[in-house]
Amino acid sequence: MLYLGLDVGTTAVKALICDAAGHICGTGSAGYPLHSDGVRSEQDARDWYTASARAVRQALTQVDASEVCAMSLSTQGGTTVPLDASGEPLRYALTWMDARAAEEAAYVQEAYGADAFYHTTGWDAAAFGDPCKLRWLQKHEPEVCRAARYWATTPAYMNLKLTGNCAVDPTNAAMRLLYDFRAGTWDARLLEYAGVTDTQLPTLLPSGAYVGTLTREAADAFGLTGRVRVYNGTHDQYCASLGCGSREAGDVLLSAGTTWVLMAVTERPMYTASRVGVGRHALPGLYGAIASLVGSGTSMEWLSQLTGLTPQELDVGAAQRRSEPGLFFYPFLAGESFTHRGEGLLGGIEGLTLRHDRYDLARALMECVAFEVKLGLREFDAKRLVMVGGAARSEVWSGIVADVTGLTVRKGSGDICALGAAMIAAAGEGGYCLRRAAEEMTGEGEVILPQGSYAEKYERYRLRLANLSGTLQLP
């Protein structure tokens, strides 16, 4: 038997087919556009489905389609689309990056109470949340709100198209900011702020629950048999946690892409002064805590464009440079991280001299991003660190992260979000628990041991930020 995991992300779908041991048998991918002007961020929900079909058909060229017996989803969170009574989108989906409802977010936060909102939903009120986005839509597009029969998220829409059942799991429900994750129900006050009823929202099903069997239309579109069963997936960070083997309290997943994201596994809800995002993990009895180091990967992309070198070329050059004690590259070009909440930090370079070159800058940036990881890990009581994403492929950058944090870094590889979804499908189909599926289907990965220490430079970095909050400027 084979299992299909689909990772429906912000700009692309990745499909992965594996066996019960986690061996990858087939992969595929397909992209779709994101319509954004820096504040508005939308996409056509129908693209999620059509791109998924293309990605799955590509993966099926490498296996016998009749052997695929079950599937599940890993999805972007916080993206909302209004549907009519037949399940068709009434407009483009508002993605988790849409920032037009900032004014509404401020209102909801004050009306509900900031602390109460955080302890109920696990998040601060923000523009991506449905109490805020839907209030914005009521003001600017009331005809859409009147016509909406359902308000779906990415997984709910996909489950509806695949099986006819509009269902969502707790991790994705939490990302809507309408959900009391402690009680496991939609929150009546937040529904009132959003102007919706629970009958307009997807059915709440546990992660891993059976959603339904593929409809004939979906089976034909995807090239699968009509016997394939669909199991309820999770938000992509929780699937990534499963897929990389980060599944015990004290494990922290570091997703090192355009934005670096820390995802900790905890035994109880971890509320913090920096307001990390809290929710129930897909693994029973555990919780997740999510926080973003905004601008980490973006800053390296900016340096790449500025210097005309690829990130890979900068990586090779940085590996040949030693750490410069007085050179700091503050990685806040796209805004401040959760580690500096409300400090107004901007990007900046300090200590630059004529003897420094672009590779020194690249290494300094790597170091300062790693310092931000260390600052963030103070919130999480980390015991083990798994690093995935583009930067995990860099020997120098992953080595710097190990040296700075003092933790052994295990590197994950491949489409871990899609693999996590495939694990959920395997657990549902095999009748054994998700933890066992995750244990049996996860590879070991390369291990990076700390080789040195950045204690002195890290302390100088921390003290400089305390003195320079709100004053940093790019030269």
Query: Which one, of 421, 380, 99, 392, lies nearest residue 231 by Cα?
Result: 421
Could you give the CA distance from residue 301 to residue 432 in angstroms, rounded to a whole number?
Answer: 43
CATH code that applies to domain 2-237: 3.30.420.40
473, pLDDT greater than 70: no
132 contacts 101 by C-beta, under 8 angstroms: yes
- 233 CB-near residues (< 8 Å, 6+ apart): 72, 73, 74, 75, 155, 169, 207, 239, 421, 424
φ, ψ for residue 287, nearest 5 deg: -130, 165
pLDDT at residue number 233: 97
pLDDT tens by residue, 210-220: 999 999 999 99
Q: What is the pLDDT of residues 393-424, one digit of tens each?
A: 999 999 999 999 999 999 887 789 999 999 99
Between 18-32, 89-103, 327-341, 368-382, the lowest mean confidence (pLDDT) is in: 327-341
Q: Which of 412, 414, 393, 410 is nearest to 402 (CA)?
A: 410
Type of residue at 124: D
pLDDT at 5: 98
How far apart CA 458 and CA 401 sit, in angstroms, is 12
474 pLDDT higher than 50: no
Average confidence score pLDDT of the chain: 93
Note whether 97 and 76 are within 8 A (CB): no
pLDDT band with cut points at 50, 70 and 90 for residue 475: very low
pLDDT at 369 over 60: yes
Model confidence over 135-154: pLDDT tens digits?
999 999 999 999 999 999 99
CB 90 within 8 Å of CB 82 = yes
Would you give the DSSP letter of residue 275? Answer: -
The answer on pLDDT for 56 being more than 50 is: yes
pLDDT value at 367 more than 50: yes
Using CA atoms, how far residue 336 sits from 124, 368, 469, in Å, is 16, 13, 10
The predicted model gives 73-88 an average pLDDT of 96
Percent of the chain predicted with pLDDT > 70: 98
Domain boundaries, the chain: 2-237
Give the per-residue pLDDT at 306. 95
Whether the predicted pLDDT of 112 surpasses 90: yes
Per-residue pLDDT band at 238 (split at 50, 70, 90): very high
Q: Which of 107-121, 155-169, 199-213, 271-285 has the lowest mean pLDDT?
A: 271-285
What is the model's pLDDT at position 431?
Answer: 67
| 168-177, 219-228, 326-335: the lowest-pLDDT one | 326-335
Q: Which one, of 168, 163, 183, lies nearest residue 81 by Cα?
A: 168
Q: Quick one: pLDDT at residue 413?
A: 75
Q: For the ranges 52-66, 198-212, 271-285, 396-410, which has the lowest average pLDDT? A: 271-285
Predicted local confidence at residue 443, as pLDDT: 72
* C-alpha–C-alpha distance, residues 396 and 437, integer Å: 33
Average pLDDT value for residue range 336-348: 82
Residue 240 clears pLDDT 60, i.e. is over it: yes
